[in-house]
Structure 1
Amino acid sequence: MRNQTLKFLYLFFLAITLSLFHSANSKSLLHLKRGASISVEGNNFITSPDDSFTCGFYAMPGSKAYWFAIWFTNSKDKTVVWTANRDRPVNSQGSRISIQGADGTMVLTDVDGSIIWQTNTRKSDVSAAELLNTGNLVLKNPRGDILWQSFDVPTDTLLPSQILTKDKRLTSSSRKGSFEPGYFNLYFGSDNVLSLIYDSPDTSSLYWPNPDFDIYTSGRTNYNGSRLAVLDDTGLLQSSDHFLANASDKGFGIKRRLTIDHDGNLRIYSLINSTGLWMITWQAISQPCQVHGVCGTNGICVYAPTPKCICTPGYEMNDPSDWNEGCKPTFNNTLLNTQVKFLELSQTDYFGSDLYYKPNFTLEACRELCRNSLCKGFTYRTWGNGHCYVKSDLFNGFMSPDFPGSVYIKLPRSVQVSKPSIFHGSSTMCESREAEILVGSPSMYDIPRRTARWGYIYSFCGALGAIELLFIALGWWFLFTKHGVPASVEDGYRMISNQFRRFNYAELKKATNNFREELGRGGSGVVYKGVLADDRVVAVKRLGDVFQGQDEFWAEMTTVGKINHINLVRMWGFCSEGRHRLLVYEYVDNMSLDKHLFYLNFLGWKQRFAVALGTAKGLAYLHHECLEWVIHCDVKPENILLDIEFQPKIADFGLAKLSRRDSPDSEISRIRGTKGYMAPEWALNHPITAKVDVYGYGVVVLEMIKGVKLANWVVDDAEDQESPLKNFCRQVKEKVQCGNSSWVGSIVDPRLEGKFNRKQAETLIAIGLSCVEEDRSKRPTMASVVQTLMECEDETEIQIPDKLEFLN
């Protein structure tokens, strides 16, 4: 044992020594002077004066190939924002970057001396290269004038203050973990509009702004001669075609970047200083499968429930490691001129490539049009009298639950294919029908008729019966024998096996015993307790006046059904039948927070802090991590339910506004919320953003601190009457200014009898006050609230602070 300890200590100190030796031999430079160079083996770098950015040779983990690059110094994965040689890496030995003494050109050479990349300067007065605090690598003359800059030759990233002009574009990488240029581009098109385009050697297709609408409907203009776009230091992205977008954490002091990712989406990322990780704070495309080309030619993008690519039935991947290359037919295309059959894929379509479009057309007539030798399939949309789209190519398909139609894939009759499993049965995204074969040919799923011996049939049936009995026995064993499986694991199995689905009205009427046991009611409807056929206890909300059509309601509820977080009430499904609109939620045991806050049976401090943190995590998930941004709009104690362990679960987000990420300031037309918890934006008729939830959360936090209702509205409209919330905030600030060391104890709920953590109380008070600021730009994001609370989650020392630092 002693020998092992000594061996461990030896290895530990050896590692420290080697680390210090490595650090001592690594050298940071503020300038690379003319005539000087940096070798790939030298471990020297150019750093910005504030150490935010580093420039030098960069290698992917486990790779011997190197790139001359610029990256964020303090990001955990050293995120690269620019590369000089993105498609031509250099060797790990003998490669060099230098500023030539003869003409001042910065040159990157490989091990054999060949020039891989160089600047286009060739000016005799270049004195040095410098990396600015903005992340811009520049060549300067002795007077400080910039003669060349990396900002003029962007790769896939735009940094704050870097301007994208009409003759520049951002180009994605080909795949994750690669610098090689891909097919997705951000640029100003010939119509002067900032656009995203898939541009491969074979196909070009614009996909943002939405090509189904004209530019004015998308809020843009082509009267835009300057063609400029920029991301500023506050997180505002704007272009001269009138496009505007805000990062959800808008404000100064945050490191950000705008990147076109390998999946074709354009995103703003914000750096979390404490972890070095990135958080998405805006993205152009809310539904990834709407990116043209993301699965290549003959590919289909599906949600399972996260986005994934599959090949069209009858096709296979060109390159198993790269979906950019799409899929190729497994059959000879000439066979499409002979006898054919059609495979239906419901709720599926392909972008563009329409040979013909025929409105008011029958399915049979559409099929006949596809007998054309150029036709690869056809889409039939089922609204109205039917719409027929004959396809010359199957360019990047997508499956969507709100697409009202099907695509019919044209295949040679002799080719046997199976339908992808994603199209069978029910899933969280769609209700699929079985394949339908047209043109009167035998079904590709039909078994050819043939004579069979009865003995084989009996043997087959006997084997099938034995297998069935085995499955029944195994099922009984797993269902009724615990085997020490934790309850949380069992709950996980149940959640996986019981996916989000569409119920019919008769089912829910029976489950609730004709809506007999009422759990509560609010402005949106009445909630009843029910038990489903599989014995799950549920809460069924019967909505009031909901004027959405069935297709619109289905599309919205399906999106909400994909949302899953430990601090959100799980939605199991919905019903949309005639005038009936119902939502089916998991049943939460301990009722709502208000029942455990404003009455005799009140929560202790530890539970209150856990509720504050869990609620913040749930809201942060809705605001920052969902496939769609969700604004709750009605955060209050009545909508925060407590489970059997008193962990919080936010309810009613299924009625929230699903905001498009490309419209961060999109307005909510109908006021939704509860007086006292509603942000001032509602009354001022300002655009509604996620900051309305931050305001409601702040009121809830202050109520948990004080233990009383602060959201009561003044009945009298007199100007000199102050609301309880404003009165409380004013009193707290006055106590802080007085410097009384006991100010925290005088604010916290006296029913706790001083049994609370003063550091945590100080933090919650600061968060609550900052969240209820009238100016929404001064309110924090929910992600930053979570980070602040987690930093003091395990706080045990009781401290009485001298002063309260308010969050900005």
Structure 2
Amino acid sequence: MKNPTGSIIFLFLTVSFLIPHTNSKTLNHLKRGSSLSVEGDSDVITSPDNSFTCGFYSVGTNAFGFGIWFTQSSKTVVWMANRDKPVNGLGSSLSLRRDGAMVLTDVDGSMAWQTNTSSTDVDRAELLETGNLVLKNSSGNILWQSFDFPTDTLLPFQTFTKSMKLISGLRNGSFASGYFSLYFDNDNVLRLIYDGPEISSLYWPNPDLNVYQNGRTNYNSSRIAVLDDMGVFLSSDRLQFSASDMGFGVKRRLTMDYDGNLRLYSFNNLTGVWLVSWEALTQPCNVHGLCGRNGVCVYAPEPKCSCPPGYEVSDPSDWNQGCKPKFNLSCSNSRRMKFVELPYTDYYGFDLNYNPSISIQGCRKLCLDDCHCEAFSYRLTGQGVCYTKSALFNGYQSPSFPGKIYLKLPMNVEASGESEQTIYNSSKLVCRSTDAEVVVGFTSMYDMAGKRAKWVYLYTFASAIGAIEILILVTGWVFFRRHDLPATLEDGYRVISSQFRRFSYAELKKATKKFKEELGRGGSGAVYKGVLADERLVAVKRLGDAFQGEEEFWAEVSTIGKINHMNLVRMWGFCSEKRHRLLVYEYVVNSSLDKHLFSNNFLGWKERFKVAIGTAKALAYLHHECLEWVIHCDVKPENILLDGDFEPKVADFGLAKLSQRGGPDSEFSRIRGTKGYLAPEWAMNLPITAKVDVYSYGVVILEMVRGIRLSNWVVVDGEEAEAELTRFVRIVKRKNQCGEESWLEEIVDPRLGGQFSRNQAATLVEIGVSCIEEDRNKRPTMASVLQILVECEDDESKDYT
């Protein structure tokens, strides 16, 4: 007789295998008729390689979305079905119904989301290794896929077409649809747009340039783009870019971030952190709409939203609301107005009129006579250019902007700091943190019914025929690209080589003829002249042992590759093979400043002042505007190169450790710099800030005035030795205090023969002395230094002695 207990166990095991195991953590598909519960923590679908997980994701208090995320980085959601309509944390479920539709239902049975597959023979749902959630029939054909309906992220091999948009989150930590989008415009060009409550504004590519000036084309109406698994992005409008760590085997994602920037991220398996390997805009304040109506985006030094004089923030928790005026502006009192000047500030768009040649008084009158004018922008670019503004949106302040905005305010409105570069009510901009990982928080979304939520775009699902057509188009396009791979890669590398790319050690060894011609040598390594295969002249820096560390090297490369300014030496690429660490820079023909300043072949005054102002622009950009807050730490004449027009280009700016603003690593662990140009903070073991660069810059411009090394030591009265810099500053202060009229002639480089601008020389000396103050808090910022120099830039021929 058979054992009845054994029979029962056998029957139980048999039945258990027949029932769908929706609670299994290793589930890689969902059969028709099965469901996932929001209450089951293990009710998830995973990709075969476990790279991606799909299931319910907490988006707030008792609020859930159904989404897909990276398994190794569970905070990084790449797709969400119901981002604008979360469901309850109790009783909600995702079902693959027997009619073939995948449906997300809330606790009350209401439908939050569904696929358009109810009339098809769907057999199962699968999560592919690419992160694509698909519905398949019994033959394995894909009938629906999440790749056709992206939210804010594009994954490798997920084709982006004319019917799609990447829409940002509403704010940091929110999954609700925001105001920034990536999409193909009607002219076939891939663009970024701000579509807010009040205005819509295109901001990338540069709206001041035409399609071809931006390196795009609008002739190809296929409107299709793709990111491949090497980190190369190709678009039908000829937009091409690549990850700084281009290559196979790296998890990547292209995300439309909540701060309006489009970024390509690469996952670091060792640290578990997403690193930015490319981004559309390196200057966050170029994003439109960040600070709302009347608001101004400023670098201080990190991007912040601010309100100008006469205005106050509307809602400190939501900068989309901008700033509100403290006054009433009407046509009845339009003549009783004053104008408040904001240097280096502009508001993009909303021009009432444009006049390319007018005096500032004429521009002022145009605005004063028009009651609809709220401000006017005036810039001197060889001639006066005037824009009167009917509304104030997309405001930003930048040391590189060559103009000013003049706000129209009633006479009785107090606006402190009208003559200063001060912006009030400053608040941190909703910008990405210093950690490149986008942190997904738990801001409540479930009870958004009582809030004023904006649906920026309404999703429309493609019909079955449309989906099939798109699938055929995508398949054909991928097939074409794959079978034309050599030509595609050749074209891709040609583009990359003109921007930023990885070189092999063999390439650079050949380009430099086995490192034959040395251009210079410093603490970081030697520099050699080279010629690339495309005949470009380059300078190849071979880094020493101090830079053999992988972490330090990659920090440098990832930063320099994204920084671009006319007064910074451009980096073309890098090499990292075994123990070899090399950087490839543009070749600058006139060598470094010290070769011209401290030799018989000295520079004239006009060139010296050009170097002073150009170097200030470069440092102001590094300190206040660029992607990361970069401290150079070794500003000296040897690191200021001169091009064919003697325009300065600052070199070696990426060799110092980056300052993590406000973080635990804001201090440097070792001294970097050159004796004579080092700020006192290094010796006093104080935290290192951007003011160390200000100090070094002060020494450099005083050397340009004097024409000699001020870092040398001199003997005073036959006994006591002191630095030439100390002696120089003491003499300047004594002569200035005594009111000696000829003091400038006595301290300016005698080789100039008196051919210099007295006003510019006095300004440089005044700035230089203030920059080398021992108390760093008394030193100016590079932004304020630049402002002063720009104001006397046109004085070079007015007061030559």
Task: Choose which of 357, 365, 380 in structure 1 pairs with 2:354.
Answer: 357
Say if 1:381 and 1:116 are closer, same or farther in 2 by CA, change over 3 A. same
**C-alpha distance in structure 2 between counterparts of 1:543 and 1:416, whole Å:** 43
**C-alpha distance in structure 1 between counterparts of 2:419 and 2:88, whole Å:** 45
Which amino acid counterpart does residue 126 of structure 1 have in structure 2?
V
**C-alpha distance in structure 2 between counterparts of 1:159 and 1:92, whole Å:** 28
Task: Choose which of 380, 400, 407 in structure 2 pairs with 1:409.
Answer: 407
What's the counterpart of residue 289 of structure 1?
285
1:93 matched to 2:155: no
Q: Is the 8 A contact 2:632 2:653 kept in 1?
A: no
- Within-5 A mapping of 1:718-733: none
Say if 1:298 and 1:637 are closer, same or farther in 2 by CA, change over 3 A. closer
**C-alpha distance in structure 2 between counterparts of 1:638 and 1:418, whole Å:** 42
What's the counterpart of residue 198 of structure 1?
194
1:524 matched to 2:592: yes
What's the counterpart of residue 382 of structure 1?
380
> How much has 1:423 moved relative to structure 2?
2.4
What's the counterpart of residue 189 of structure 1?
185
What's the counterpart of residue 67 of structure 2?
69
What's the counterpart of residue 470 of structure 1?
none
Q: Is the 8 A contact 2:630 2:658 kept in 1?
A: no
Which amino acid counterpart does residue 51 of structure 1 have in structure 2?
N
> How much has 1:401 moved relative to structure 2?
0.7
SS in structure 2 at match of 1:418: coil
Say if 1:367 and 1:168 are closer, same or farther in 2 by CA, change over 3 A. same
Deviations 1:405-454 (A, max 9, x none): 110111122222334999249xxxxxxxxxxxxxxxxxxxxxxxxxxxxx
What's the counterpart of residue 633 of structure 2?
569
**C-alpha distance in structure 2 between counterparts of 1:65 and 1:242, whole Å:** 41
What's the counterpart of residue 121 of structure 1?
117
**C-alpha distance in structure 2 between counterparts of 1:175 and 1:72, whole Å:** 21
What's the counterpart of residue 32 of structure 2?
34
Which amino acid counterpart does residue 569 of structure 1 have in structure 2?
C
What's the counterpart of residue 713 of structure 1?
none
What's the counterpart of residue 757 of structure 1?
none
Q: Is the 8 A contact 1:260 1:266 kept in 2?
A: yes
- Within-5 A mapping of 1:781-796: none
- Within-5 A mapping of 1:265-284: 265-284=261-280
Q: Is the 8 A contact 1:565 1:618 kept in 2?
A: no
Aligned residues: 476
**C-alpha distance in structure 1 between counterparts of 2:409 and 2:150, whole Å:** 44
**C-alpha distance in structure 2 between counterparts of 1:143 and 1:276, whole Å:** 38
Name the % identity.
53
Q: Is the 8 A contact 1:525 1:544 kept in 2?
A: no
> How much has 1:557 moved relative to structure 2?
3.1
> How much has 1:523 moved relative to structure 2?
4.1
Q: Is the 8 A contact 1:267 1:282 kept in 2?
A: yes
Say if 1:543 and 1:148 are closer, same or farther in 2 by CA, change over 3 A. farther
- Within-5 A mapping of 1:497-512: none
Structure 2: 5+ residue runs without aligned partners?
A: 1-21, 424-589, 662-671, 694-801
Deviations 1:742-801 (A, max 9, x none): xxxxxxxxxxxxxxxxxxxxxxxxxxxxxxxxxxxxxxxxxxxxxxxxxxxxxxxxxxxx
Say if 1:163 and 1:621 are closer, same or farther in 2 by CA, change over 3 A. farther
Say if 1:356 and 1:570 are closer, same or farther in 2 by CA, change over 3 A. same
207-216 vs 554-563, greater mean Cα deviation:
554-563
> How much has 1:275 moved relative to structure 2?
1.8
Q: Is the 8 A contact 2:342 2:418 kept in 1?
A: no
What's the counterpart of residue 219 of structure 2?
223
- Within-5 A mapping of 1:258-657: 258-334=254-330, 337=334, 339-371=336-368, 372-419=370-417, 423-424=421-422, 523-526=591-594, 553-561=615-623, 569-571=633-635, 618=655
> How much has 1:246 moved relative to structure 2?
0.8
Say if 1:368 and 1:120 are closer, same or farther in 2 by CA, change over 3 A. same
Deviations 1:651-674 (A, max 9, x none): xx99xxxxxxxxxxxxxxxxxxxx
Q: Is the 8 A contact 1:402 1:551 kept in 2?
A: no
Which amino acid counterpart does residue 344 of structure 2 have in structure 1?
Q
Q: Is the 8 A contact 2:633 2:656 kept in 1?
A: no
Normalised by the size of structure 2, how large is the TM-score?
Answer: 0.54
> How much has 1:70 moved relative to structure 2?
0.6
Say if 1:547 and 1:140 are closer, same or farther in 2 by CA, change over 3 A. farther
Which amino acid counterpart does residue 132 of structure 2 have in structure 1?
N
SS in structure 2 at match of 1:526: helix
- Within-5 A mapping of 1:706-745: none
Q: Is the 8 A contact 1:402 1:552 kept in 2?
A: no
**C-alpha distance in structure 2 between counterparts of 1:421 and 1:91, whole Å:** 55
**C-alpha distance in structure 2 between counterparts of 1:104 and 1:174, whole Å:** 33
What's the counterpart of residue 56 of structure 1?
55
**C-alpha distance in structure 2 between counterparts of 1:79 and 1:149, whole Å:** 20
**C-alpha distance in structure 1 between counterparts of 2:279 and 2:95, whole Å:** 38
Say if 1:336 and 1:135 are closer, same or farther in 2 by CA, change over 3 A. farther
Deviations 1:570-603 (A, max 9, x none): 54999999x9989999xxxxxxxxxxxxxxxxxx
What's the counterpart of residue 147 of structure 1?
143
Q: Is the 8 A contact 1:171 1:184 kept in 2?
A: yes
> How much has 1:363 moved relative to structure 2?
1.2
Which amino acid counterpart does residue 382 of structure 1 have in structure 2?
L
**C-alpha distance in structure 2 between counterparts of 1:92 and 1:321, whole Å:** 27
Q: Is the 8 A contact 2:615 2:650 kept in 1?
A: no
Structure 1: 5+ residue runs without aligned partners?
A: 1-23, 426-521, 531-540, 586-614, 626-635, 655-808
> How much has 1:87 moved relative to structure 2?
1.2
Deviations 1:473-512 (A, max 9, x none): xxxxxxxxxxxxxxxxxxxxxxxxxxxxxxxxxxxxxxxx
Normalised by the size of structure 1, how large is the TM-score?
Answer: 0.53
SS in structure 2 at match of 1:333: coil
What's the counterpart of residue 237 of structure 1?
233
**C-alpha distance in structure 2 between counterparts of 1:414 and 1:284, whole Å:** 43
1:257 matched to 2:253: yes
**C-alpha distance in structure 1 between counterparts of 2:674 and 2:634, whole Å:** 17
Higher relative contact order (CA 8 A, sep 6+): 2
Task: Choose which of 73, 78, 81 in structure 1 pairs with 2:75.
Answer: 78
Which amino acid counterpart does residue 526 of structure 1 have in structure 2?
D
SS in structure 2 at match of 1:389: strand
**C-alpha distance in structure 2 between counterparts of 1:420 and 1:91, whole Å:** 52
Q: Is the 8 A contact 1:131 1:138 kept in 2?
A: yes
**C-alpha distance in structure 1 between counterparts of 2:630 and 2:339, whole Å:** 44
What's the counterpart of residue 174 of structure 1?
170
**C-alpha distance in structure 2 between counterparts of 1:546 and 1:67, whole Å:** 61
Q: Is the 8 A contact 1:336 1:410 kept in 2?
A: no
Which amino acid counterpart does residue 372 of structure 2 have in structure 1?
L
> How much has 1:112 moved relative to structure 2?
0.9
Which amino acid counterpart does residue 378 of structure 1 have in structure 2?
F
> How much has 1:559 moved relative to structure 2?
1.7
Say if 1:303 and 1:133 are closer, same or farther in 2 by CA, change over 3 A. same
Deviations 1:533-580 (A, max 9, x none): xxxxxxxx9999889687655432322345899995254999999x99
What's the counterpart of residue 111 of structure 1?
107
**C-alpha distance in structure 1 between counterparts of 2:299 and 2:629, whole Å:** 18
> How much has 1:362 moved relative to structure 2?
1.1
Say if 1:280 and 1:46 are closer, same or farther in 2 by CA, change over 3 A. same
Deviations 1:358-413 (A, max 9, x none): 12211111111112111110001122231110001101211011111110111122
Q: Is the 8 A contact 1:67 1:86 kept in 2?
A: yes
> How much has 1:644 moved relative to structure 2?
8.2
